Structure 1
Amino acid sequence: MVEALKKNPNWKKRKGPVVLVIMDGVGYGKYKEGDAVADSKMNHLDAITAKSPHTKLKAHGKAVGLPSDDDMGNSEVGHNAMGCGRVFNQGAALVSKSIETGAMFQGQAWKEIVENAKKSGGAVHFIGLFSDGNVHSHLDHLKAMIKQAKKEGVKKVRIHTLFDGRDVGETSALEYIDPFEAFLKEQSDGSFDARIASGGGRMWITMDRYGADWSMVERGWAVHVHGEGRQFKNAREAVETYRKEIPGIIDQDLKEFVVAENGPTGTPAPIGAIEDGDSVVYFNFRGDRSLEITAAFEEEKFDKFDRGRRPKVCYAGMMEYDGDAHVPKRYLVSPPSIDKTMGEYLAASGVRTLAISETQKYGHVTYFFNGNRTGKFDEKLEDFVEIKSDVVPFEQRPWMKCADIADQVMEAIPSGKYDFIRLNFPNGDMVGHTGVYQAVVCSMEAMDLQIGRIAKVVEGAGGVLVITADHGNSDDMYEHDKKTGAVSLKPDGTPKAKTSHSLNPVPCIIYDPAGGNEYPHKAGEGDLNEGLGISSIAATCIQLLGFIPPVDYDRSVLKM
């Protein structure tokens, strides 16, 4: 439990609420070509920026707890940082350190995974995102576990690959498959058999989140567990075949496949169906897209789809994906212990809060913002609102539910029910990941309309509007040559789309129409503290609410 925040006698609390708008995936682009944010007509955002104090915040790498500044930020760590006001080492860094020190392999969970497979004579199955994007997983972690399994006497390993094309190049699957197959060949010998057994694109199988589309998990379950799906002799053949059959398909959307070979009767059979006595490791360290497949493996009462044969396995996640519900029951690395979040302080101080987004980012403004905590700190003071997302490709509905979100926020602002409102517009991230430039521009302009509507209501209510983002994405929609900065082109001469996040800074804009002399000038860069990360958002909002931020919080952007 935390103590209530102390009121700041030098700050005149505003009549209306503080409204935090998180423009998911919207940064300041490094390159003119491919910056869909700059290329969009963001008239309302531009007008607000022109008359408000504003600055740029770091939203990647060490500024959000990732191992290095070469690591792109993501929505999970971004909302963690904004919500807790400090920087904690995150999943990627924690897993890498655990492997480096050997702590993972000395832990009880790993020992149980290995001993179970050795005792039954079964396989250890690894399921997870097959890339080095370092947002949900990293192939180095998988390789280390395979080597250790062999070292400890496991005889059989099967890998179930979820192709990325989102945190890495959109058609880079073969760049990972070929060297990984070579690695497996090096490891395999007469006593150890390690092979890729199944897979598909991350947005087609297994990696759903927030219950948006359980059919993805159902397809993954059929492929990974039952070995049911279109059969190929290897992963490369599957990728090449689907690319020929579905022109323009990118890795995240690749259809499911099963690797099969002729059995004793000459009939092709899957090489990696999961059987009783096997062990399973879901090697993604990020929680949001790990909870549903974990539920399918662990929950006794499960009604999302018919699991059919449910094998009796020893299951472990890379990390604990839900600290409150303690899911999964067994995990290899302990997650960051995030305490004293902004939400907890506000609840202790009697601040009435609304958190709202659509399904795709609802968990980010609630669970992740509150330090990976499910539920509320105070049921009487907090309201969480989820607006159901459309289950369609995002490029087909690039406006998503931003108008619906704005409608509810615009009712809440003048209602007098809330002191602090936080919302997430998912457009820049979810549409940005599609790589469809025109759709991204549409999504930005649709979001801008809603920001304009909200700003007008904030002004009328005498409130404060804080506009920021959790990471970049839509600001960097083309692949660029790292040395020259030139746009990378496809064989047909068109720009090669980039579907991953960027390393670019994000906005921080303080629109305070009721403010007096709290800022050096009415607007402009330099009126706020510079060189900060998005973890400074917490202290900033606390100050705007009329309180003194906790002493261990990262510095506010406000010069006061």
Structure 2
Amino acid sequence: MKKVALIVLDGWGVGENKENNAIYMAKPKFFNHLITNYPNTKLQASGELVGLPKGQIGGSEVGHLTMGAGRVLEESLTKINNTFSNLSSNNTILQIPTFQQFIKNAQQRPAHLVGLISTSGVHAHIQHLFSLLKVMKQQKCLSPNIHFISDGRDTSTQSGIVFAQQLLQLINLLNYGKVVSLSGRFFAMDRDNNLDRTKKAVLNILRESKPVQTYKLIRAFENSYQQKITDEFIEPVIVDQYYFGVNNDEPFFFFNFRADRMRQLITMLKQKLPNNPFFTITRYDDNYPYKVIFDKEKVDVTLGKIISDHKLSQLRAAETEKAPHVTYFFNGGTNIVYKGEHRIICSSNKIKHDVMPEMKAKKITDNIINFVTKKHPDFILANYANSDMVGHTGNFPAIITAIQTLDHELERLCSKLIKNKYICVITADHGNSDIAYNPITKEINTAHTLNPVPFIIYSPDNKYQLKPTTTISFGLSDIAGTVLDLMEIEKPKENFNSMLK
């Protein structure tokens, strides 16, 4: 049996060698050395090879879920799209019992619709809200209150005003619904226990902020842009002067399909609104009692489970920004901790990541090295967040620093692991820093990219070979099977394809 370390460089795509590719411009010496001297290929991390619609950018949730599952899953975005696409079919959302219950509630009390309004498809999609409004109107639900969370991170930084205009056009066309509050995702979708941010968003939804500021929706965006505040960081504000907060028994519908950035918000809201029925478009947590519209595909067999079933030990290491990805998502979207699984998660910085682009890369490396010295785990999953989290800021010099820091820590970690007879597998979950800005308009790009990601096998004897491919036909689902082959563990009969020759 061989020991393997799977090292995920989050947000590290393989882009063109151009000036807007921060990874190329950072000249990562060790990474380039690996590409030149060790077996490597490119993997698809977006679209159909990770269970998303064609042309849809991938993300950290989808990436780690697919890596751990060893197969392509039907992702929530695809499932919801298909269900909403033909409301006259037998597969319509109106056939789902929990949605029928929501409709019944919304016919009796005005509903509150909460979510990210964006076309990114990473956490939510604006078309789901549009379809929801049309169905509610058709079903004679009372006119709902919409709580607008602006993106600017997985979309361009000032695209929120365009989405706002599109939403208002539909509202006017239907003569139905109203947008009552606005908040940037920095506040409403924090996942790193910055509860002061979450509290601001919650108090705004409840209209309990002091003092209450009221602007019309478009004016609120314009005011923020004039102050050089982009969509992600828009301060929570009321955008309907006739909105006076939430009443008892009014139902809430949360339409973000990705769970991790909704948990803090929904938990704090429920503490304030114990008697209001809550509905979530997907399951946000196994322990939540809220009604779920679309349950996720069950993943019974994961890479982590197979390793545990063989009575082997494993380490999961990251900082809190990516803790759910190396644990919950990699384990099939469940909160299970496998026997023999150890976790070392260090706290992310509480400041914007371009202020300290090194993030906790050094601490993660130190943690892994110390654990390896004492415990010698059979499998290691590590996530370094720099390329993604700093990439999301659009600050080019900071991204360069992030990549160079990451390259240094990658070399330090791999050097230690190779000496301890580990095989190092280096990859990524999606692209980001590989396109830092538009080369023509110079507009910064904070979103993920459609570029493939690297896959490298760095071993002491350099004896492994990968199957040849003329196109990028491998995807993230092929990583688990390859790891099992490297560890010399028998693979399940179904799925878990290997890229080894």
Partner secondary structure for residue 413 of structure 2: helix
* Number of the residue aligned with 1:514: 461
Q: Displacement, 1:175?
A: 1.1
In the alignment, the residues of structure 1 paired with residue 322 and residue 64 of structure 2 have an alpha-carbon distance, to the nearest angstrom, of 10
- In structure 2, the residue matched to 1:195 is 178
More deviation, 529-538/143-152: 529-538
The answer to whether the Cα contact below 8 Å between 1:321 and 1:328 also exists between their aligned partners in 2 is no
**CA shift digits 1:472-498 (9 cap, x unpaired):** 00001113xxxxxxx242xxxxx1100
Find the aligned partners of 1:296 and 1:212 in 2 and give their Cα distance: 11
* Gap change, CA 1:436 and 1:496, over 3 Å in 2: same
Of residues 93, 101, 104, the one that matches 2:78 is: 93
- In structure 2, the partner of 1:78 is 63
Counterpart of 2:12 (choices 26, 36, 46) is 26
- How far residue 237 of structure 1 moved from its aligned partner, in angstroms, is 0.6
Aligned to 2:214: 232
User: SS of the counterpart of 1:421?
Assistant: strand
| Structure 1 position 151 matched with structure 2 position 134 | no
Aligned-partner Cα distance in 1 for 2:484–2:122: 29
**From 81, 91, 116, the counterpart of 2:105:** 116
Task: Name the CA distance, whole Å, in 2 between partners of 1:456 and 1:279.
Answer: 55
Q: Could you tell me whether the CA contact under 8 Å between 1:462 and 1:514 is conserved in 2?
A: no
Per the alignment, residue 427 of structure 1 pairs with 386
Match of 1:214 in 2: 195
Structure 1 position 54 matched with structure 2 position 40? yes
- 1:294-328 CA deviation, whole Å, 9 max, x = no partner? 22244xxx5xxxx4xx3631210111122x32x35
Deviation sequence 1:130-166 (CA, Å, 0-9, x none) = 1111111111111111111111111221111111111
The amino acid that maps onto 1:253 is F
Structure 1, unpaired ranges of 5+:
1-12, 262-269, 480-486, 490-494
**1:373-452 equivalences in 2 (<5 Å):** 373-378=334-339, 381-452=340-411
Code of the residue aligned with 2:401 in structure 1: it is C
SS in 1 for 2:256: coil
Match of 1:497 in 2: 444
The corresponding residue for 1:338 is 299
Point out the more displaced range, 101-110 or 170-179: 101-110
C-alpha distance in 1 between matches for 2:398 and 2:56: 26
Output the TM-score relative to the length of structure 2: 0.95
Whether the 8 Å CA contact 2:457–2:464 is kept in 1: the answer is: no
C-alpha distance after superposition, 1:220-241 (max 9, x if no partner): 1101123536533421010111
Partners of 1:238 and 1:558 in 2: how far apart?
Answer: 54
In the alignment, the residues of structure 2 paired with residue 31 and residue 272 of structure 1 have an alpha-carbon distance, to the nearest angstrom, of 53
AA matched with 1:226: R
Residue 414 and residue 540 in structure 1: after superposition, are their counterparts in 2 closer, same or farther (change >3 A)? farther
Match of 1:540 among 471, 482, 486: 482
State which of 34, 37, 49 in structure 2 corresponds to 1:63: 49
- Greater helix proportion: 2
> Which residue is 1:355 aligned to?
316
Matched residue, 2:258: 286
**1:255 corresponding residue in structure 2:** 235
Q: Is the 8 A contact 1:104 1:333 kept in 2?
A: no
Query: Contact (CA 8 Å) 1:55, 1:528: kept in 2 or not?
Result: no
**Secondary structure of 1:232's aligned partner:** coil
Larger radius of gyration: 1
Corresponding residue of 1:173: 160
Q: Does the aligned pair in 2 maintain the 1:539–1:549 contact within 8 Å? A: yes
Specify the alignment match of 1:104 in structure 2: 93
Shift of 1:183: 0.7
Q: TM-score normalized by structure 1?
A: 0.85
Structure 2 counterpart SS, 1:446: helix
Percent of aligned positions that are identical: 29
Quote the residue 1:183 is aligned against. 170
| Partner-residue secondary structure (3-state), 2:180 | strand
CA separation of 1:297 and 1:546: change in aligned 2, threshold 3 A: same
Q: Secondary structure at the match of 1:395?
A: coil
**Counterpart contact for 1:84–1:535, Cα < 8 Å:** yes
CA distance in 2, matches of 1:197, 1:354: 45
Secondary structure, in 3 states, of the residue corresponding to 1:183? helix
Once residues 326 and 470 of structure 2 are traced to their aligned partners in structure 1, the CA distance between those partners, rounded to angstroms, is 25
Equivalent residue for 1:242, pick from 202, 209, 224: 224
The counterpart of 2:129, out of the listed 121, 139, 142, is 142
Give the superposition deviation at 1:415.
3.3
Structure 1 position 293, deviation (Å)? 1.8
Number of aligned residue pairs: 496
| More off after superposition, 252-261 vs 382-391 | 252-261
Task: Name structure 2 gaps, 5 residues minimum.
Answer: none
Match of 1:370 in 2: 331
Give runs of ≥4 in structure 1 deviating > 4 Å.
Answer: 525-530
1:265 equivalent in structure 2: none
SS at match of 1:231: coil
Displacement after TM superposition at 1:274 (Å): 1.7
Distance in 1 between residues matched to 2:298 and 2:190, nearest whole Å: 25
Q: Distance in 1 between matches of 2:454 and 2:369?
A: 22
Which one-letter code corresponds to 1:474 in the other structure?
Answer: S
| 1:516-542 Cα distance to aligned partner (Å, 9 max, x none) | x4438xxxx959996200111101111
The aligned counterpart of 1:459 is 418
CA contact (8 A) 1:60 1:471 kept: yes
Q: Secondary structure at the match of 1:507?
A: strand
Paired amino acid for 1:81: T
**Cα contact 1:196–1:234 (8 A) shared by 2:** no
CA distance in 2, matches of 1:551, 1:38: 40
106, 109, 117: which one pairs with 1:130? Answer: 117
Post-superposition offset of 1:393 = 0.4
- The answer on whether the counterparts of 2:13 and 2:452 sit within 8 Å (CA) in structure 1 is yes
Separation of aligned partners in 2, 1:528 and 1:371:
31
Q: Letter of the 2:222 partner, please give it.
A: E
Measured after TM superposition, the shift of residue 172 of structure 1 is 0.8
In 2, the alpha carbon distance for the partners of 1:466 and 1:406 equals 15
State how far apart, in whole Å, the 2-side matches of 1:254 and 1:387 are: 28
Instruction: Tell me which amino acid in the other structure corresponds to 1:76.
Output: E
- Deviations 1:81-116, CA, capped at 9 Å, x for gaps: 100100001010111122235432222222222222
SS at match of 1:38: helix
Instruction: Report deviation, 1:345.
Output: 0.9
- Distance in 1, matches of 2:19 and 2:464, equals 38
> More deviation in 461-470 or 550-559?
550-559
- Relative to structure 2, which stretch is displaced further, 96-105 or 340-349? 96-105
Q: Tell me what 1:550 maps to.
A: 492
Q: Which residue of 2 aligns with 1:36?
A: 22
Offset from partner CA, 1:401-420 (integer Å, 9 cap, x none) = 00000001112334343000
CA distance in 1, matches of 2:428, 2:60: 9
- Whichever residue aligns with residue 363 of structure 1, its letter is P
